[in-house]
A and B are shown apart, each in its own frame.
Chain A
Amino acid sequence: MGAFVVLLIIVGAVAVIAIGMYNTLVTLRNRCDNGWSQIDVQLRRRYDLIPNLVETVKGYAKHEREVFEKVTQARAAAAGAQGVKAQAEADNMLTGALKSLFAVAEAYPDLKANQNFLMLQEELAGTESKVAYARQFYNDTVMKFNMRQQVFPSSVIANMFGFKPREYFQIEEEVAKGPVKVQF
């Protein structure tokens, strides 16, 4: 009788701990998904800002058609990119195109004083840093999630219920750090 009660308590305690571990894993998986969609939200926001920006600059610098086309094309490519690597490359192209757009804007003092233009510039800068922070948060969460799946004893639970490690959002070093060519 006494041994049975002890056994029951041990089994109960193990079950409670196992449930706790399972719940932690599920929470972290959801947080990974949430982090991933946060990156998407910020990227969309960036794409949405660009047509407005192009229109505003067009109002002051009509004949810089080449730059506008480059930005518009790069935006379309980035919005339609599939897969992490293609996305990173397309985003890099877009960043380069935007840089040449802002370089063009330098030559038009009226444009630089335009309230709407300044607003859009700030919004774009803010959104770009939000994209970076969203990626950072995603990677931090993935690290926690993957670590939980690797360390004992929660690795046992992870194996039992088929949790899979997530991939980090890595921007290819050469692509991200390569020089951005600005052509006029």
Chain B
Amino acid sequence: MYEQISRNKWKSAALVVFFVAFIFLLTWFFEQLTGWGRGGLVLAVAVAMGMAAVGYYSSDKIVLTISRARPVTKDEFPYLYNVVEGLAIAAGVPAPKCYVIEDTAPNAFAAGRKPETASICVTTGLLEKLDRAELEGVVAHEMSHIKNYDVRLQTVVVVMAGVVALLSDWMLRSFFWGGGGRRRGRGRSGSGAAGGVLVLVGLGLALLSPLIATVIQLAVSRKREFLADASGAMLTRYPAGLASALRKISADTEPLEAANKATAHLYIVNPLRNLKGGGGGLNRLFSTHPPIAERIAALEKM
């Protein structure tokens, strides 16, 4: 278990480093091809961060509202509260607030950018269909997202994906408008064949990079799911509980009405899985969660 957690941390860190390197590469082309120079990067980072800041500070409220989650008291759901409080003790974080979605489809997610203001949200279906050991497994998974600052990491990754998208967008625009930018750029990088190749590569990169950024963003998301499974199992010391919960949740065919594309990546099991086809290569590359079978296999190996 310990190795799995540290391996997951390394992989997430490596992905972020790769992302930063990718942005620098893109900026280099950007500099070569447009007249904006480094100012372009600064501007792109500023715009993306501004957009992310709003999301960062109010994302939990937005997510809870659009998921139609309602805050509940301990008197209403003593069972849920006891499980959440117990695992907060195990994780050494303050007990998060509890929210409930009135829906028979079993699922759960965590929100909040730091442990002190975090919330855990479960559906009423989850409370009905799982036994105590399974519910503890699910709550431990969400507690790990909170403890590992996954919301923060996701925000950083989303900002970087945003920077890439903006940069490539601007690169494409300066191509099509054929303005002074390109002429100046060519003047710097020298004319002739070399310049032509550079333009072609830059154009390709500009077209492809938002796609690459999305793929990386989703890869980080999947890594964090594995990490939360592993460290959740560390909290309960009972991987079989979470494994059995994942089996039950994924076997359930009821749709979760309050979930949509924007919030799907937050849930413990993708609530939109029933709408998609099988787990083929491309499908897998663009999914927010690793396949359930792989997650269960990893838990059973612990």
Contact = CB atoms under 8 A, between A and B. Distances in A.
A and B held together in a complex: yes
Interface of A: 31, 35, 38, 42, 119, 122-123, 125-127, 129-130, 132-134, 136-137, 141
Contacts of A133: 86-87, 89-90, 235
A129 B237 contact: no
Given A126-B85, A133-B86, 8 more contacts: A38-B89, A42-B89, A125-B82, A125-B132, A129-B83, A129-B86, A130-B85, A137-B91
B78 interface: yes
Contacts of A130: 82, 85-86, 89
Interface string B83-116: 1011101111000000000000000000000000
Contacts of B132: 125
Contacts of A125: 82, 132
A48 to B, nearest CB: 15
Most chain A CB neighbours (cut-off 10 Å) among B78, B79, B83, B90: B90
A129 B82 contact: yes
B201 to A, nearest CB: 44
Contacts of A42: 89
A123 B90 contact: no
Classify the interface of chain B: helix, strand, loop or mixed: helix
A125 B83 CA distance: 10
Given A133-B87, A133-B89, A126 B237 contact: no
A125 B82 CA distance: 9
7 contacts: A126-B81, A126-B82, A129-B83, A136-B237, A137-B89, A137-B90, A141-B92
B198 to A, nearest CB: 43
A42 B95 CA distance: 14
Contact of B78 (A31, A119, A129, A132): A119
Nearest to B92: A137
Contacts of B87: 133
The 9 A-B residue pairs with the shortest CB-CB distance, nearest first, are A126-B82, A133-B90, A130-B86, A133-B89, A129-B86, A133-B86, A134-B89, A122-B78, A137-B92
Contacts of A137: 89-92
B78 to A, nearest CB: 5
B87 to A, nearest CB: 7
Nearest to A42: B89
B65 to A, nearest CB: 29
A166 to B, nearest CB: 16
Given A119-B78, A136-B237, A126 B83 contact: yes
Contact of A123 (B82, B89, B136): B82
Contacts of A35: 92
Interface in B51-97: 78-79, 81-83, 85-87, 89-92
A122 B74 CA distance: 12
Contacts of B82: 122-123, 125-127, 129-130
A125 B89 CA distance: 15
B86 A126 contact: yes
